[in-house]
């Protein structure tokens, strides 16, 4: 099992505060059955800047400590890149870490409250450069929650998505859980990531999410999700499945 989204790199953002916590989180990842993790500290989100050079160096140091402590986890440098109008310039300037060695996939975060109007055009520009944005936790974005067709449109235009394991098992409440299920049912989900931050708040629920996925959607979906996580960090083609628009929910008639 591969985790393509986590904040367990010590002391760089709002995730793990120190090496000790990071090693405990790495141990927890191992217990979940995770063998490789893409480390994705926040980048360009208005609060955190984590340049590629620094993330690479810190990832190597972290890997050394992981190995010293005998934990079976391979970590890769990455970023959770916040969408801004400066994204293309940042790519040109080499200030973006892709999820893979071939610069095909970017872990892209949208603001929680909306989908910016320029996002569609940005998607087009990224596609034109052969880059696939992996939109992180679309199920938690207000814009997609309010307009399910918008998510369909983005995936139809070539975006991939990373659903957060804890969303799917209800950590963020029944509405987010239901929306996550609808996204999966429509093949608009590409894979899971944990978005683990620390032990206090958001943490690993990957094992639970995959158990639920098998029960609800069968082993083939589990296999596809696991394959896609690997494909993203290897820079291979993903298998999105046949996407369909999310079914409209039945409206309560309000007779009573």
As measured in angstroms, the least distance from the Cβ of 199 to Fe ion is 16
Stretch that binds Fe ion, among 87-95, 117-125, 187-195, 224-232 (CB under 5 A): 187-195
Q: Tell me which of 12, 167, 195, 225 binds Fe ion, using CB under 5 A.
A: 195
Q: Residues binding Fe ion: what is the number (CB under 5 A)?
A: 2
* Cα–Cα distance, 43 to 234 (Å, whole number): 21
CA distance 233 to 252: 43
Q: Which of 28, 80, 177, 181 binds Fe ion (CB under 5 A)?
A: 80
3 binds Fe ion (CB under 5 A): no
For the chain, the C-alpha Rg in angstroms (whole number) is 18
Question: Which one of 123-131, 150-158, 189-197, 248-256 is the stretch in contact with Fe ion (CB under 5 A)?
Answer: 189-197
Distance CA 78, CA 233 (A): 9
Residue 225 Cα distances to 13, 112, 117, 156, 232, angstroms: 27, 24, 29, 18, 11
Output 49 or 156, the one with its CB closest to Fe ion: 49
Residue 52's alpha-carbon distances to 23, 95, 198, in angstroms, are 22, 6, 22
Minimum CB separation of residue 116 from Fe ion in Å reads: 18
Smallest distance, Fe ion to C-beta of residue 18, A: 19
Q: Which is nearer to Fe ion, 186 or 194 (CB)?
A: 194
3-state secondary structure of 37: strand
CB of 28 to Fe ion, least distance (A): 17
Tell me how far, at minimum, the Cβ of 29 lies from Fe ion, in Å.
Answer: 15
Q: Would strands 191-193 and 160-164 be described as parallel, antiparallel, or unpaired? A: parallel
Of 7-46, binders to Fe ion (CB under 5 A) are: none
User: What is the CB neighbour count within 10 angstroms for residue 85?
Assistant: 9
In the bound complex, what is the minimum distance in angstroms from residue 43's beta carbon to Fe ion?
A: 11
Can you tell me the distance from the alpha carbon of 187 to that of 190, in angstroms, rounded to the nearest whole number?
7
Stretch that binds Fe ion, among 57-65, 78-86, 160-168, 176-184 (CB under 5 A): 78-86
Residues near Fe ion, by CB under 5 A: 80, 195
């Amino acid at each position: 099992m591969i985790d393509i989204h986590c904040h367990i790199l010590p002391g760089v953002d709002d995730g793990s505060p120190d090496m000790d916590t990071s090693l405990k989180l790495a141990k927890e990842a191992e217990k979940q059955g995770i063998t490789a993790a893409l480390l994705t500290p926040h980048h360009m989100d208005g609060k955190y800047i984590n340049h590629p050079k620094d993330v690479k160096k810190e990832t190597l140091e972290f890997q050394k400590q992981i190995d010293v402590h005998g934990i079976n986890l391979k970590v890769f440098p990455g970023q959770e890149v916040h969408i801004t109008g400066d994204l293309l310039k940042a790519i040109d300037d080499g200030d973006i870490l892709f999820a893979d060695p071939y610069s095909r996939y970017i872990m892209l975060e949208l603001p929680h409250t909306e989908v910016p109007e320029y996002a569609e055009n940005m998607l087009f520009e990224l596609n034109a450069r052969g880059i696939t944005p992996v939109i992180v936790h679309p199920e938690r974005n207000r814009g997609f929650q309010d307009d399910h067709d918008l998510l369909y449109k983005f995936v139809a235009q070539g975006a991939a998505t990373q659903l957060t394991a804890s969303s799917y098992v209800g950590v963020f409440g029944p509405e987010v859980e239901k929306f996550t299920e609808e996204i999966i049912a429509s093949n608009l989900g590409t894979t899971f990531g944990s978005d683990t931050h620390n032990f206090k708040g958001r943490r690993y629920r990957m094992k639970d999410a995959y158990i639920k996925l098998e029960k609800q959607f069968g082993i083939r979906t589990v296999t596809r999700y696991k394959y896609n996580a690997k494909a993203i960090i290897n820079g291979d083609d993903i298998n999105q499945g046949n996407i369909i628009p999310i079914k409209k929910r039945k409206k309560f008639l309000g007779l009573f």
